[in-house]
Amino acid sequence: MWSTAGCSAPAICSPPGRARPSPPSEAGPVTAVYLDHNATAPLRPEARDAMLAALESVGNPSSVHRFGREARRLAEAGRRQVAALAGVAPAQIVFTGGATEANALALTGLGRRRILASAIEHDSALAWAAERIPVGGDGRVDLDALDRLLAAGGEPAIVSVMAVNNETGVIQPVAEAAAIARRHGALIHCDAVQAAGRIPLPAVGAEVDALSLSAHKLGGPQGIGALVLRDGLPLAPLLRGGAQEGRRRAGTENVAGIAGFGAAAAAVADRADMPRIAALRDELERRLTAEGAVVLGAGAPRVANTSCVAMPGVTAETQVAALDLAGVAVSAGSACSSGKVRRSHVLEAMGLPDDLAESAIRISLGPATDAEAIDRCVAAWIDLSRRRRSRAVA
Ligand code: PMP
């Protein structure tokens, strides 16, 4: 069974601690509530078991002896599970050190020097793209703008549009973007990190040419991801000097990481927990909006687990710190590194007024989230909101 009970409140941006003592309070020990699954999800028990089993065995999958063959068997089992999640053949999977690397591999390795990315992509995709596709106020990519950019001509392009935005949870029109890209002879890459296990993934082959995944967003370990490729699509490697991954990514395979990724992928593939999580998220938003919260991206289709909520007049940093003090871990958009919060390029691209964008936090639910977690979050949020309002009046 899932449990984050007993974990101490993590610092902003850091993954949840496991089974560490909780901070004492007058009412006795409190357990921390982890509502930052879009940053990283706790390791699923299935993934942990698969990893421990892999770590117990020795062997390089490239070795021909029995130990090597056993390591190869474990890696190939994980590959089949990830391939099943993506609905492709195992040979279409290239394991990487995470989605940051998968995005880099897609955007540098598919032979297109003209790179367009939606303005709300993760930085690891934006870093490679000279051209930005704007988004509307609802947080969805502007398809007419994509059409115009590609129609303006230029060399053959690759277009990167994510399946689900990590800050707002807004589902992007990937199939429509793919049809436009195809009409203009462009390739299309999709960062599906926040979609996996939550909504059906874009079809690799029929819709997109390449798709990025990351294990730690779906209950697998950190430091392992995959680029899923259309069957037969040639890819120039970033890392050279080895025949691994069909000569598309050199380096000894992360066997335990692949085993954990595979087990997590198999555990989330049926998306069975999503209706329960959607009900909890709807209840959270109902109670917060009744207290004056503004839900960003609410006008567009969204994944079940993500809520981007603004408390006008109170900075996101203040809210994250106040909720953390109350034992509730959320984040200020995804826009943080080294614990520092900076302006969100996603909310900026949506054209939100500064006061709203600067007061938005991201609350992201996961398998261990229950009604009590929602109660704790709502209570801490309302407490801060009311304190701020009474101070404003005084
Ligand atoms: N893309 C998206 C949408 C993400 O949310 C993240 C993680 N924040 C990444 C890419 C990067 O993934 P990884 O941590 O596996 O490099």
pLDDT (tens digit per residue) in 55-89 = 999 999 999 999 999 999 999 999 999 999 999 99
Q: Are 365 and 277 in contact (CB under 8 A)?
A: yes
Report how far ligand 1's centroid is from the alpha carbon of 368 (Å).
21
Can you give the pLDDT at residue 46? 98
Catalytic pick from 13, 308, 336, 377?
336
Which amino acid belongs to residue 344?
S
Q: Are 264 and 219 in contact (CB under 8 A)?
A: yes
**pLDDT (average), residues 363-387:** 97
Ligand 1 binding pocket mutation candidate from 167, 199, 214 (most atoms within 8 A of CB): 214
- 391 pLDDT above the threshold of 90: no
- Name the 3-class secondary structure at 43: coil
- In order of their start, the domains of the chain are 33-42+271-393 (3.90.1150.10)
Tell me the pLDDT tens digit for each residue of 213-225.
Answer: 999 999 999 999 9
Residue having the nearest C-alpha atom to atom 12 of ligand 1: 99
Alpha carbon distances (Å) from 330 to 39, 171, 219, 308: 9, 21, 17, 10
Q: Confidence class of residue 394 from pLDDT cuts 50, 70 and 90? A: low
Tell me the pLDDT tens digit for each residue of 294-324.
Answer: 999 999 999 999 999 999 999 999 999 999 9
Q: Give the integer Cα–Cα distance in Å for 127 and 37.
A: 24
Ligand 1 binding pocket mutation candidate from 122, 167, 306 (most atoms within 8 A of CB): 122
Can you give the pLDDT at residue 362? 97
Q: Are strands 131-133 and 114-118 parallel, antiparallel or unpaired?
A: parallel
Q: Give the integer Cα–Cα distance in Å for 22 and 109.
A: 46
Can you give the pLDDT at residue 20? 44
Which has the closest alpha carbon to 174: 184, 163, 165, 182?
163
In what helix (H) or strand (E) does residue 118 lie, and over which residues does it extend?
strand 114-118
Report how far ligand 1's centroid is from the alpha carbon of 211 (Å).
13
Can you give the pLDDT at residue 4? 40
Can you give the pLDDT at residue 389? 83
- 378 pLDDT above the threshold of 70: yes
Alpha carbon distances (Å) from 180 to 129, 157, 176, 189, 388: 18, 12, 6, 13, 47
Report how far ligand 1's centroid is from the alpha carbon of 103 (Å).
9
Q: Are 61 and 72 in contact (CB under 8 A)?
A: yes
- 13 pLDDT above the threshold of 60: no
- CA torsion through residues 96, 100, 362, 175, sign: negative
Q: What share of the chain is helix, strand, coil (3-state, %, to 5)?
A: 40, 15, 45
**Alpha-helical runs (H) found in 138-207:** 143-151, 174-183
Can you give the pLDDT at residue 162? 98
Pocket lining: 124 vs ligand 1, CB cutoff 6 Å: yes
- Name the 3-class secondary structure at 178: helix
Q: Give the integer Cα–Cα distance in Å for 258 and 266.
A: 12
Q: Give the integer Cα–Cα distance in Å for 98 and 198.
A: 19
Q: Decide if 7 is catalytic.
A: no
- 10 pLDDT above the threshold of 50: no
Tell me the pLDDT tens digit for each residue of 156-211.
Answer: 999 999 999 999 999 999 999 999 999 999 999 999 999 999 999 999 999 999 99
**pLDDT (average), residues 251-280:** 98
Tell me the pLDDT tens digit for each residue of 120-148.
Answer: 999 999 999 999 999 999 999 999 999 99
